Amino acid sequence: MRLFFKNICLPAVLFLVFASCSSNQKNKPVSSTPDLGKPFDPTKYLEYNPKKADKRIDEFMKHLHQVAGFNGNVLVAKKGKIIYENSFGWANYPHMDSLTVNSQFQLASVTKTMTGTAIMQLWERGKLKLDDDVQKFFPNFPYQGVTIRLLLTHRSGMMNYVYFIDDIYRAEHRDQRKGITNQGAMDMIAQYKPAPFNKPDKRFLYNNSNFMVLGSIIEKVSGISYTQYMKQNIFDPAGMKNTNVYSKADYDKIPTKVLGHDRNSWKYSVAPNFLDGPVGAYGIYSTVGDLFLFDRALRAGYLIKPATQDSAYTDRNPMVRGHFNYGYGWRLFEAPGEKVVYHTGWWHGFRHIFLRDMKNDVTIVLLGNMVNGSLLHLDDLFKMTGMPVVRKSAYTGNGGVEEDQ
């Protein structure tokens, strides 16, 4: 009898132990960070000695500041090492506050690179499919056939929600002191059903609505706010301690010291307003150093797998001027043996460019809070670092360099 119970109980105990382990494993949060043998160490990438700054880049940047009017921060790195980092000008001219290298800028559309990365994380984890229709997550979404893939590639055909919501607020005299949430924006789209620009997948049409909707999907799928998701899954794993999501829906006053200025004049400072409520297309605030960490974490495969990144960096639209395209949340420059993934940003007095040369491992970050044409004069900087000239007007329609360049 004792032997009988022994034979029965042992398998039962093993089953219970196995079931318990399986249950714990099932309920364990899926990490986006692969086991690379050691944790991601952001400190080694931020090491920089200003005394060893690249003198040619320093001379170029001083000229860009003094002659072209660049006001902002810059970081240049090669093969994972910062070779130049500096600040130029004012963070807040009315208060005479100078910029520092750790000044936080509203990233404007550079935010899209991180929203796209978050979507690809959720795809890797099986939480969504790129061909899922938006109506799967928001049944009252008024447009048929708009998928996550079309949002990522700016091929949804949607109207620009920024202008649509601004018109509604002004026409109905709504309170503009409080920012609208992503859900509020989605509800307005469902209620008013503004006419789209064209049918889904007809053509590329760069549009903030695409990434606002993606930000809303992140919230719906994850069950937490966009702010929480980005902190837990992008910022913290990459060591981006100076990066935050700031929405006017959450803050009466955005807690940052850097003020945007428009029209190339200190007279036209731009305060955040109700349109700074929705996040996903913009809304992330960061530093040049943290964007470099984002670059490093991606290259190391700590946020999404290399194969997933390759998919994000693949042409998803017809080529422009033989070199330029758009992938999943990234602008692309391509030439024989060359690829630069990058994004620009322009919103409420901020103007930026964030470039990552995938072949030569060069990273260039310029964050500016004065909207002018200074970032159109970077050709010499590109040449100094060995990066191709990433400027559409430098190329003809066939991809050749224009005669006057």
Residues paired with residue 92 on neighbouring β-strands, in sequence order: 97
Work out the number of other CB atoms within 10 angstroms of the CB of residue 267. 10
In sequence order, the 6+-apart residues with CB closer than 8 A to the CB of 366 are: 70, 72, 73, 74, 288, 352, 353, 354, 375, 378
Question: Averaged over 268-290, what is the pLDDT?
Answer: 95
Structure token digits, residue 235: 């910022």
pLDDT one-digit tens code per residue, 338-355: 999 999 999 999 999 999
Q: Is the pLDDT of residue 33 over 50?
A: no
Alpha-helix residue ranges (DSSP H) falling in 28-160: 55-66, 111-124, 134-137, 148-152
In sequence order, the 6+-apart residues with CB closer than 8 A to the CB of 83 are: 53, 54, 57, 76, 77
The least confident of 26-35, 126-135, 209-218 is 26-35
Q: Is the pLDDT of residue 403 over 80?
A: no
pTM, rounded to two decimals: 0.90
For position 11, what pLDDT does the model report?
A: 44
Q: Any idea what DSSP says for residue 313?
A: T
The CA distance from 33 to 142, in Å, is 36
Instruction: Judge contact between 363 and 355, C-beta under 8 A.
Output: yes
**CA torsion through residues 32, 37, 42, 45, sign:** negative
For position 142, what pLDDT does the model report?
A: 97
Give the residue, 397 or 23, on which the prediction is more confident.
397
Question: Averaged over 36-62, what is the pLDDT?
Answer: 89
pLDDT one-digit tens code per residue, 353-366: 999 999 999 999 99
Work out the number of other CB atoms within 10 angstroms of the CB of residue 337. 7
C-alpha closest to that of 78 among 402, 355, 324: 355
pLDDT band with cut points at 50, 70 and 90 for residue 318? very high
For position 38, what pLDDT does the model report?
A: 60
User: Helices 182-192 & 208-222, crossing angle to 10 degrees?
Assistant: 120
> Taking the domain 51-120+213-390, which CATH number applies?
3.40.710.10
Q: What percent of the chain has pLDDT over 90?
A: 83
Instruction: Judge contact between 394 and 400, C-beta under 8 A.
Output: no
The least confident of 274-283, 304-313, 394-403 is 394-403
| Mean pLDDT, the chain, whole residue set | 90
Residues paired with residue 10 on neighbouring β-strands, in sequence order: none
C-alpha closest to that of 100 among 85, 84, 78: 85
Q: Is the pLDDT of residue 5 over 60?
A: no
Question: Averaged over 210-234, what is the pLDDT?
Answer: 98
The CA distance from 311 to 13, in Å, is 46
Structure token digits, residue 253: 């006053």
pLDDT band with cut points at 50, 70 and 90 for residue 260? very high
For position 265, what pLDDT does the model report?
A: 86
The SS3 assignment for 163 reads: helix
Q: Name the residue ranges covered by the structural domains of the chain.
A: 51-120+213-390
Work out the number of other CB atoms within 10 angstroms of the CB of residue 243. 24
Q: Is the pLDDT of residue 26 over 80?
A: no
Backbone conformation region of residue 266, classed left if phi is above 0, alpha if psi is from -120 to 50, else beta: alpha
For position 93, what pLDDT does the model report?
A: 85
Give the residue, 39 or 162, on which the prediction is more confident.
162
State in Å, rounded, how far the first CA of the chain is from the last one: 94
Give the residue, 211 or 23, on which the prediction is more confident.
211
Question: Averaged over 286-305, what is the pLDDT?
Answer: 97
CA distances from 322 to 8, 29, 310, 396 (A): 72, 43, 20, 8
Question: Averaged over 140-148, what is the pLDDT?
Answer: 98
Residues in the chain: 405
